Amino acid sequence: SLRLQQPQEQLVLTAGQTITLSCTISGEGPPGPVEWLKDWGTENKTIYAQTSSSPRVTRVVNGSNVDFSIQIRDVHPEDAGTYYCVKFMRTVGHGGGLQVFQHGKGTVVSVHAKPTQPVVSGPGRRAGTGASVSFTCESGGFFPKDISVRWLKNQAPISAQQPRVRPGQTNSSYTMSSTVTLALVPQDVRSQLVCEVQHPTLPAPLRGTYQLREALRVAPSLRLLPGSSSVEVNKTLTLTCRVEGFYPRALALSWLEGGRELRVENTSRVVQTPQGLFQLSSLLEVQATEDRNGSAFTCRVVHDGQDPISSTVTLWVAVPGKE
């Protein structure tokens, strides 16, 4: 009588390895092939048959009538499942079908897989200082399910919600996402956010980084000097508009006299401060003619496409001998 032995109950592999599934047959049985099936019942898939098998699947001992072990190389997470060594017998009748004569207990295969490099994403648009902003870290393709995430801001741990872990495209791997919410401050122009992922398959954590300046807007402060001005007729007054402490660099500055825009040649270059923010000064030379007495001069700034901010000074022209 025929004895089919499939001794392995469970195998745990890492993606990319080669798996050997053992099956031996002794004694005599009815005519019919020996095949390997993955899973049982309606979901089953033929993994190895004499006539057909995937290029990754080979017999350990070619042509043997005793050893029906197979090897599957470069295993993927999708290869996880239960494998059965099955002896079929040919049925008589037209067409000559096959029916199961004997099968092994099944070998449960699980494939451990490393998570992908974590990717940290921020908001779709910049937020001002003081705003609460959410950042998300995502990684996928891993098995088993247990994974831990640690967030760091400038190397100091910060608290975050528990990661959400869901089945991936195939049920044999998982994806995770973790979110952290921060209130942004001007100093964050130099801050780095790190998401660290730890998993049983990893010798050291994987890290995804995000530069907080990508999400940050620091609005400028505006100073117009001198604050008030009384000038003798026909003298020249120099007005200075100082725009300080802004990020990002995108900034448009204009001068207006009584609401009408002036053409100004000498807007200075934008310079970066040691703190990583930007500043700029613009000079306007005004000829103090009599008809300009009481005129309002405005420095107007549009930063990063936001609403304009402005500062205004009124010019008083003193004519000697006229009180």
> At residue 238, does pLDDT exceed 80?
yes
For the entire predicted model, the pTM comes to 0.78
How confident is the model over 127-144, as pLDDT tens digits?
Answer: 999 999 999 999 999 999
Task: Please give the structure tokens belonging to residue 293.
Answer: 């007495």
Q: Is the dihedral of CA 64, 69, 71, 77 positive or negative?
A: positive
- Is 323 part of any domain? no
How confident is the model over 253-306, as pLDDT tens digits?
Answer: 999 999 899 988 776 789 999 999 999 999 999 999 999 999 999 999 999 999
* Number of domains comprising the chain: 3
72 and 107 both lie in a single domain: yes
Are 28 and 53 a contacting pair, CB within 8 Å? Answer: no
- Residues of the domain holding 48: 3-112
Report the DSSP pairing between strands 70-72 and 19-21.
antiparallel
Q: Give how far Cα 294 sits from Cα of 190, 224, 264, 291, Å.
A: 45, 17, 21, 8
- CATH label of the domain that carries residue 312: 2.60.40.10
8 and 108 both lie in a single domain: yes
